Chains A and B, each alone.
Chain A
Amino acid sequence: MLENYLPVLIFLVIGFGFGAFMMALGFILGPRRPDSEKLSPYECGFEAFEDSRMKFDVRFYLVAILFIIFDLEIAFLFPWAVVLREIGMFGFVAMVIFLALLVVGFIYEWKKGALQWE
């Protein structure tokens, strides 16, 4: 029974092997002549300006996530508007329900103050 899974084992071995092989190849064949200039950190050819691990205001993510939701809503609305005649009342009601759910979310984020920057 276990021999059925042989292809999976071969896949794993080849997968790992290929990755290791490529890295080994670069390691063996690549010329390595390090000097202090090459090893020093730089930013676009200049000395590093600041610490690369700078803090990002978490509010940017919040705004981005909220934007995505309402952006996707438009992506639904456009095709819906084009075929509204064909899908009739059913399509209309379905979209109203969808928008109602979105409005619930909107009320939530508004009341929670997610839309206020300060």
Chain B
Amino acid sequence: MDLTLTSFAPAMPEMFLLGMLSLVLVVDLFLTERTRHITYILSLLSLAGTFWLVLDGYPRLPELAFHGSYINDPMAALLKLFMLLAVMVVLVYSKEYIKQRDMYKGEFYLLVLFATLGMLVLASAHTLLTVYMGLELLSLSMYAMVALRRDNVDASEAAMKYFVLGAMASAMLLYGMSLVYGATGTLDFALMGEAAAKLPTNDVTMLFGIIFMLVGVAFKLGAVPFHMWVPDVYHGAPTAVTLFISSAPKLAAFAMLMRIFVDGLGELHQQWQGILIVMALLSFGLGNLVAIAQTNLKRMLAYSGISHIGFLLLGVLSGTSEGYAASLYYAITYVVMSLGGFGMILLLSRAGFEADKLDDLKGLNDRSPWFALMMMMLMFSMAGVPPFLGFWAKLAVIQAAVGVGLVWLAIAAVVFSVVGAFYYLRIIKLMYFDKPESDAPIESSADLRILLSANSLAVVGLGLFPSSLLAICSASIG
């Protein structure tokens, strides 16, 4: 048994984050409300340090650790970099908001860090057990985050729903894992595909395992018909928490999908493709249609998120490495746009006022032309208008679907994305052509303004030069 320190090197970023997390946990105990910014800075430093370690250890070839249960490959590293970036952005965006709402406690930062650790583990999982461990670390932290404002009725209700449904989904996933383990005799993704290929086609145990695991993964992604929690949780949770839930964990859920169904069960692509086709079709169909009826911005973005997940599945179900790369690209794109969208709500909110209704955006152009422009770019990007980032992501996944002959599905995707354009454009209409309901100035800190502008400009910048990020995604799928 090789037990030198180097054999743990692939997990170095996670170990560093755990160490820093423990430090933050202890330091925060001795801080008061006035010195809490130390926790904030320490959390950002931990994430930045982890980011640097991931970048420093960026692997060319997959490296295994912990007896094959942990992998550090280019896909994991790329996902981790974007997860860490997204979490750092979340912390900066939400600082003022949580201060105004009595959530400025060490626990908020600790739960974010714990959830981040879970995401990193999930991205690097190479056995079913590691997947489950990462997932639970992530999910439990998120349940607690939603419930952080425990005197708020909406938040408590959202947390309860999220917890009960989430626990069900975890149970389904675990049941599926046990069936797959029973059928293949292994938990290790490296051996699973081989063992599964030896089984007779349509082996019932395996089929059940796949379906139960897909249910669990689809729940975490928020794909129809396992999407019920998404609007309620996004709506009920404090916006800072919604911002978090809608961003980095989507990358983690994508990683989970890729690890289980491509790394592990890639050989059985035929068996899971059909289910993913149905889920993708329902997701972008229902998500886009129901989003039209929403009057609450958070709910609308939740349904829009569901439809984006449908597009994301489009790449994965094609079963080609181009498709996987396109989905990876889509996931990253979605996170960038979602951060901007929810960030805008945080920007417009102030103490005692949630800017989460569509009407709150009315006449934003009169109040702040610059942020109206930023929001317009984000909405164009989400709708998939060229040359913004969202267009290239949609193009990539649709190309992947066409590439494997699923032309009808690609056409359906295009049709529904046109339907979806309606509610994004309605926001632009509200901002530019309606009269503002209040002329209260936008009070928000400079760091939020600067970062949100950078976030929105990234949507344009990455959209004008789409090939670089797409090339990185392709290279990391290999």
A108, B29: Cβ atoms closer than 8 Å: yes
Enumerate chain A residues within 8 angstroms of B207, measured Cβ to Cβ. 4-5, 7-8
> Top 3 A-B pairs ranked by shortest CB distance?
A111-B29, A104-B22, A1-B274
| A108/B3 in contact, CB under 8 A | no
Number of residues from B at the complex interface, CB < 8 A: 17
Assess whether B3 is in contact with A90, with CB atoms less than 8 Å apart: yes
Instruction: Kindly list chain A residues whose C-beta atoms are within 8 Å of the C-beta of B274.
Output: 1-2, 4-5
B454 interface residue (CB < 8 Å to A): no
Q: Report B124-157 CB contacts with A as 1/0, cut-off 8 Å.
A: 0000000000000000000000000000000000
Q: Does B208 contact A (CB under 8 A)?
A: yes
User: Shortest CB–CB separation between residue B208 and chain A, in angstroms?
Assistant: 7
User: Chain B at the A interface: mostly helix, strand, loop or mixed?
Assistant: helix
Q: How far is the CA of A111 from the CA of B30 in the complex (A)?
A: 9
Residues of B within 8 A of A (CB): 3, 18, 22, 25-26, 29-30, 202, 204, 207-208, 211, 270-271, 273-275
Tell me which residues across on chain A come within 8 A of B30, comparing CB atoms.
Answer: 111
- A8 surroundings in chain B (CB, below 8 A): 207-208, 211
- A residues 77-118 touching B (CB-CB < 8 Å): 90, 100-101, 104-105, 107-108, 111-112
CB within 8 A of A11: which of B208, B271, B275?
A: B208
A-side interface residues toward B, CB under 8 Å? 1-2, 4-5, 7-8, 11, 90, 100-101, 104-105, 107-108, 111-112
- Which one of A4, A101, A112 lies within 8 Å of B271 (CB-CB)? A4
Q: In the complex, what residues of A have CB within 8 A of residue B22's CB?
A: 100-101, 104
CB distance from B274 to the nearest CB of A (A): 5
5 intermolecular pairs with C-beta atoms under 8 Å apart? A5-B274, A8-B207, A90-B3, A104-B22, A104-B25
A36 vs chain B, min Cβ distance (A): 38
A84 to chain B minimum Cβ distance, whole angstroms, is: 15
| Alpha-carbon distance between A2 and B30 when the two chains are bound, in angstroms | 60
Across the interface, which residues of B come within 8 angstroms of A5, CB to CB? 207, 211, 274-275
B25 touching A108, Cβ below 8 Å = yes
Q: Which residues of A contact B18 (CB under 8 A)?
A: 101
C-alpha gap A1/B208 in the complex (Å): 15
The answer to whether A107 and B26 have CB atoms under 8 Å apart is: yes
